Amino acid sequence: MAPTTMNNPTNLIEFVMLEGNGVKGLSEMGLKSLPNQYIQPLEERMSMIKVVSQESIPIIDMSNWNDPKVGDAICDAAEKWGFFQVINHGIPIQVLENVKDATYRFYELPSKEKVKYTKENSSSKHVRYGSSFTPEAEKALEWKDYLSLFYVSEDEAMATWPYACRDEALEYMKMSETLIKQLLNVLMKRLNVSQIDEKRESLLMGSKRINLNYYPICPNQELTVAIGRHSDVSTLTVLLQDETGGLYVRAEDHHSWIHVPPVSGALVINIGDALQIISNGRYKSIEHRVTTNESNTRVSVPIFVNPSPSDVIGPLPEVLANGEKQIYKNVLYSDYVKHFFRKAHDGKMTIEYVKID
Ligand SMILES: CC(C)(COP(=O)(O)OP(=O)(O)OC[C@H]1O[C@@H](n2cnc3c(N)ncnc32)[C@H](O)[C@@H]1OP(=O)(O)O)[C@@H](O)C(=O)NCCC(=O)NCCSC(=O)/C=C/c1ccc(O)cc1
Ligand SMILES: O=C(O)CCC(=O)C(=O)O
Ligand SMILES: [Fe+2]
């Protein structure tokens, strides 16, 4: 197909979404220019003048996670930045390498294999392959393909997740469990929650979703985005990025962006909306975005640690015990997530849905 036919919106949607070629397929056509549908409005483009290089998010060594100093560093970072990186986190480097390889293995499958997992075709509601975020609702599309895997049980994953990446994704999830519990324990302590009982465990980590993100080489880095400004709706997210770079976090001054540099063997941790709500705003779910790259393909693999869909989330009684004003309403978590998934990325707007004025 001639690259110019991709400027026709119907042809593009058919090729990228319905036939399952993804933006990977577009990229491999060797387009000289970016199809119109991907051109973002000026205010959503990322320019280097918006980047501050003097600041960076903390890098925290987890080898002595029981040391109160480490706990303080984690909680301070969660309050101030909402983002930090961890090293010596206990997950073997090989497990991380394997899940990156598995991501490539999935995307290198022919489109007729991948198309089996699109929203229209997937035999499981928990497995979805797609491109951009919410194409139906977006003014401009995002330069990203994804495979999203909702974890229910090991057996269900073994039966439904694509073979090309199934074992590696499961292993990464399993091996991250201890780190997730350590982080949540430390973060809860500062909120005066000393014990994570069964109910609290469901509220903090009752469900998990792993996404394999693929950002192919883009013909024009300046005009588009890989992921638009958003905050995650998770409790917290554990993110594996490769050595390419391109993830930016909103700076405290609100006007500029801070790059999250790739650190070999590290994982990026960020607080999501659910934990911002549960902590009544103490921990911050910070806006972030991803830029495209004209020279390299990038992959990333976030694990979204979430409340269970059937949990009602709201500020914890322990947090409100000091008499502070409740700033978020209680909400059924699956309603909150549906609200997020039905609209285009729009910065921190999702949380407005539950704000008490
Ligand atoms: C509400 C869910 C998501 C679906 O429930 P459902 O109603 O039984 O299932 P549906 O298949 O009918 O999906 C409902 C809507 O969500 C959409 N959706 C269903 N999974 C997906 C999907 N992975 N992708 C993007 N739309 C989807 C789906 O398109 C659909 O939209 P609509 O057709 O307008 O009703 C349910 O699984 C749930 O409550 N999950 C809770 C755990 C959970 O997934 N939490 C989200 C963590 S993800 C996160 O923090 C950040 C994710 C993120 C992801 C991409 C980014 O670019 C940036 C961030
Ligand atoms: O690719 C990245 O570095 C970040 C991805 C992200 O923000 C997301 O999937 O929610
Ligand atoms: Fe994100």
Q: What is the pLDDT of residue 199?
A: 95
Beta carbon of 247 within 6 Å of any ligand 2 atom: yes
Q: What is the pLDDT of residue 19?
A: 96
Q: Are 288 and 249 in contact (CB under 8 A)?
A: yes
Q: Which residue puts its alpha carbon closest to atom 8 of ligand 2? A: 302
pTM: 0.96
Extract the residue ranges of the chain whose pLDDT is less than 70.
1
What's the N-to-C CA distance of the chain in angstroms? 53
* Ligand 2 centroid to residue 228 C-alpha, Å: 10
Residue 277's nearest CA partner among 323, 331, 237 is 331
Q: What is the pLDDT of residue 118?
A: 97
Beta carbon of 241 within 6 Å of any ligand 2 atom: yes
> What ligand 2 atom has the least distance to the C-alpha of 298?
1
Q: What is the pLDDT of residue 5?
A: 82
Beta carbon of 58 within 6 Å of any ligand 1 atom: no
Q: Which residue puts its alpha carbon closest to atom 9 of ligand 1? A: 125
Beta carbon of 102 within 6 Å of any ligand 2 atom: no
Provide the ipTM.
0.90
Q: What is the pLDDT of residue 357?
A: 84
Q: Are 271 and 307 in contact (CB under 8 A)?
A: no
What would the DSSP string read from start to end of 198-266?
Answer: HHHHHHHHSEEEEEEEEE---S-TTT--SEEEE---SSEEEEEE-SS--EEEE-TTSS-EEE----TT-
> What ligand 1 atom has the least distance to the C-alpha of 340?
16
Per-residue pLDDT tens digits for 189-234: 999 998 999 999 999 999 999 999 999 999 999 999 999 999 999 9
Which of the listed CATH numbers 3.40.50.300, 3.30.360.10, 3.30.70.3270, 2.60.120.330 matches domain 11-354? 2.60.120.330
CA 50 vs CA 81, 248, 288: distances in Å: 18, 10, 13
For the chain, what are the domain ranges? 11-354
> What ligand 2 atom has the least distance to the C-alpha of 237?
10
Beta carbon of 213 within 6 Å of any ligand 2 atom: yes
Write down the residue that tokens 């949380």 correspond to: 351
Q: What is the pLDDT of residue 269?
A: 98
